[in-house]
């Protein structure tokens, strides 16, 4: 007998990981208040019908133990062996059964049970039923005889008609956590005398995507190689060991600063080697994502870039027959974008430098006016960039939102360094630029329109107009000083 069947839960207490549901069911049985219709919703097919079967046994058991079925009385045995016509299990996903489901329900459900206390229908993947079958089901659910119980189970509750759902007590079964899967695997391995390492069990839990049934299946498969250790799991399930994941991520991290053909080749060679080791690159991509998730806080910037890369790799993996190529194409894109970004930020830097020079020039032109107030001049030398000491947080917020939204690098640099929004009245926004050259640039019609549109977006108002004025840095600072003084 396969381990999966052997260790299938037989009582409520075996289903420890669904405590929130089991406790309610046991209480209902204790108080004789079970419902007529249940709907078990489970995101993946993992023992939901087994749990339904436990419920069917529990309401019929002649000798329950702490409201668990005994699995020994004649009713429990009859259900376990499907040897009674009072217990019907239907898989709606199989067509042969769907064909006669209507007759099954309409013709037979109204008759009282012959052997059991309650007649129980389990309908798995109930969302697959035809409209006619649903109607038949609904009819009987509306006025169910005392002895009748329906346990519907589905992985896609959104496809079950509302009229049916509303007549059921719905239980959402939660997915098992990694630790719960591992502890169940440990329990089975110990009972079966299978040698194992903990790391290997975690690896199995991971590959099974937290579906217990698959995890147990994998445990059994790998145990053929005797010890369930990391190496054997990797060999058997075509996944990469953790060290490889680490190496791959650090390879990308190191290289992405200094890409060239050589470093690119290293990454591609690494992937080719993985394939030669029979690692499934689809699973590998998922493993890398999990690694990113675990270590995200260590380097947020790099890891968010990397997760974007993998988002694209996943898309490619779905459409490319060649998995290796799917990786290569996206890694190449990733590098290209990264390099462009760096070039752009360099441009932004050098533009700022240029602006500094321009500013110095315009300062010289205005020299005579600078001599008027020495105090102010000293201040202006000190403050390298324009930082409004304005208390009005709204204006500053608006300014920083504008800078954030501005995707033209040259304009953004000007805004950052020379612009200040001085007031707005929900129709007019006044902006001051303290550099003549940049003022001319910003007031070009296309640029003005561009900024105006950004502000309209930010403020959600279509009738906003932007007025840009030039003011020398000294005058501007004087004005600020006056404002602060008053
Ligand atoms: Zn029993």
Q: Which residues surround ligand 1, an ion (CB under 5 A)?
A: 61, 69-70, 73, 76
Q: Residue 209 Cα, ligand 1 centroid: separation in angstroms?
A: 34
Q: Residue 75 Cα, ligand 1 centroid: separation in angstroms?
A: 6
Q: Residue 76 Cα, ligand 1 centroid: separation in angstroms?
A: 4
Q: Residue 31 Cα, ligand 1 centroid: separation in angstroms?
A: 18
Q: Residue 264 Cα, ligand 1 centroid: separation in angstroms?
A: 65
Q: Is the pTM of this model over 0.85?
A: no
Q: Residue 106 Cα, ligand 1 centroid: separation in angstroms?
A: 29
Tens digit of each residue's pLDDT (9 = 90 or more) over 339-349: 777 777 777 77
Q: Residue 57 Cα, ligand 1 centroid: separation in angstroms?
A: 7
Q: Residue 63 Cα, ligand 1 centroid: separation in angstroms?
A: 5
pLDDT at 137: 87
List the structure tokens of 420: 């200040």
The answer to whether residues 69 and 22 touch, using CB atoms and an 8 Å cutoff, is: no
Tens digit of each residue's pLDDT (9 = 90 or more) over 77-112: 999 998 999 999 888 887 656 666 777 777 788 889
Mean of the pLDDT values across residues 19-43?
A: 89
Give the whole-angstrom CA distance, residue 131 versus residue 363: 82
Find which of 52-61, 128-137, 223-232 is predicted with most confidence, using mean pLDDT.
52-61
Q: Residue 65 Cα, ligand 1 centroid: separation in angstroms?
A: 9
Closest CA to 349 of 407, 298, 398, 409: 409
Q: Residue 470 Cα, ligand 1 centroid: separation in angstroms?
A: 90
Higher pLDDT, 479 or 256: 479
Q: Residue 190 Cα, ligand 1 centroid: separation in angstroms?
A: 28
Q: Residue 111 Cα, ligand 1 centroid: separation in angstroms?
A: 23
Q: Residue 16 Cα, ligand 1 centroid: separation in angstroms?
A: 20
Q: What are the residues whose beta carbons fall under 8 Å from the beta carbon of 130, sequence distance 6 or more?
A: 98
47's torsion region: left (phi>0), alpha (psi -120 to 50) or beta? left
Mean of the pLDDT values across residues 113-133?
A: 90
Write down the mean pLDDT value for the chain: 83
Q: Residue 38 Cα, ligand 1 centroid: separation in angstroms?
A: 21
Give the whole-angstrom CA distance, residue 13 versus residue 9: 8
Q: Residue 49 Cα, ligand 1 centroid: separation in angstroms?
A: 18
Tens digit of each residue's pLDDT (9 = 90 or more) over 162-190: 999 999 999 988 878 888 889 999 999 99
Chain center to CA of 310: 13
Chain center to CA of 52: 30
Closest CA to 426 of 464, 471, 468, 480: 464
Continuous H helices in 7-47: 19-30
Q: Residue 74 Cα, ligand 1 centroid: separation in angstroms?
A: 7
pLDDT at 153: 92
Q: Residue 20 Cα, ligand 1 centroid: separation in angstroms?
A: 23
Q: Residue 117 Cα, ligand 1 centroid: separation in angstroms?
A: 12
Tens digit of each residue's pLDDT (9 = 90 or more) over 234-279: 878 777 877 888 888 988 887 666 667 777 888 888 888 888 877 8
pLDDT at 69: 95
Q: Is 345 exposed, middle or buried (0-12, 13-18, 19+ CB in 10 A)?
A: exposed
Tens digit of each residue's pLDDT (9 = 90 or more) over 358-383: 666 666 655 555 554 444 444 444 44
Give the whole-angstrom CA distance, residue 156 versus residue 407: 43
Q: Residue 46 Cα, ligand 1 centroid: separation in angstroms?
A: 24
Q: Residue 469 Cα, ligand 1 centroid: separation in angstroms?
A: 88
Q: Residue 21 Cα, ligand 1 centroid: separation in angstroms?
A: 21
pLDDT at 484: 64
List the structure tokens of 6: 């052997």
Q: Residue 77 Cα, ligand 1 centroid: separation in angstroms?
A: 7
Higher pLDDT, 230 or 16: 230
Q: Is the pLDDT of residue 384 over 60?
A: no
Tens digit of each residue's pLDDT (9 = 90 or more) over 185-218: 999 999 999 999 999 999 888 888 777 888 898 8
């Amino acid at each position: 007998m396969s381990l999966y069947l052997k260790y299938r839960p037989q009582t409520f207490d075996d289903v420890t990981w669904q405590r929130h549901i089991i406790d309610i069911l046991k209480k209902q049985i204790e108080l004789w208040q079970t419902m007529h219709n249940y709907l078990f919703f489970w995101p993946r097919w993992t023992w939901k019908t087994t749990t339904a079967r436990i419920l069917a046994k529990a309401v019929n058991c002649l000798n329950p133990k702490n409201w668990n079925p005994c699995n020994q009385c004649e009713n429990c045995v009859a259900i376990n062996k499907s040897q009674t016509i009072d217990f019907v299990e239907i898989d709606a996903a199989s067509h042969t059964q769907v064909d006669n489901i209507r007759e099954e329900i309409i013709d037979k459900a109204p008759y009282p049970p012959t052997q059991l206390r309650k007649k129980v229908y389990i309908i798995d993947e109930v969302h697959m039923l035809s409209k006619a079958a649903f109607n038949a089901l609904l009819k009987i659910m509306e006025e169910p005889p005392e002895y009748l119980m329906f346990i519907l189970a589905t992985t896609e509750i959104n496809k079950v008609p509302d009229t049916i759902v509303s007549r059921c007590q719905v239980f959402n079964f939660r997915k098992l956590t990694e630790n719960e899967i591992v502890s169940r695997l440990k329990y089975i391995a110990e009972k079966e005398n299978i040698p194992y390492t903990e790391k290997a069990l975690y690896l199995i839990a991971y590959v099974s995507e937290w579906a217990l049934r698959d995890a147990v299946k994998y445990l059994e498969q790998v145990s053929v190689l005797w010890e369930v250790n990391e190496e054997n799991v990797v060999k058997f399930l075509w996944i990469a060991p953790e060290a490889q994941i680490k190496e791959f991520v650090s390879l990308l991290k190191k290289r992405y600063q200094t890409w060239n053909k050589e470093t690119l080749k290293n990454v591609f060679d690494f992937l080719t080697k993985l394939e030669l080791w029979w690692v499934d690159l689809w699973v590998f991509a998922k493993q890398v994502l999990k690694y990113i998730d675990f270590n995200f806080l260590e380097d947020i910037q790099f890891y968010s870039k990397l997760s974007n890369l993998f988002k694209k790799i996943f898309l490619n993996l779905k459409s490319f027959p060649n998995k290796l190529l799917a990786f290569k194409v996206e890694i190449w894109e990733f590098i290209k974008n990264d390099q462009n970004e760096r070039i752009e930020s360099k441009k932004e830097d050098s533009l700022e430098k240029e602006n500094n020079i321009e500013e110095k020039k315009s300062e010289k032109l205005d020299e005579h006016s600078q001599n008027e107030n020495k105090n102010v001049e000293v201040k202006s030398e000190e403050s390298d960039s324009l930082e409004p000491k304005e208390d009005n947080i709204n204006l500053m917020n608006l300014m920083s939102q504008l800078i954030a939204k501005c995707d033209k690098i040259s304009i953004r640099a000007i805004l950052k360094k020379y612009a200040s929004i001085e007031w707005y009245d929900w129709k007019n926004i006044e902006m001051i630029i303290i550099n003549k050259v940049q003022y001319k640039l910003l007031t070009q019609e296309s640029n003005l329109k561009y900024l105006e549109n950004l502000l309209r977006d930010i403020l959600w108002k279509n009738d906003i107009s932007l007025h840009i004025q030039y003011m020398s840095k000294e005058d501007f600072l004087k004005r600020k000083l006056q404002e602060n003084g008053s």
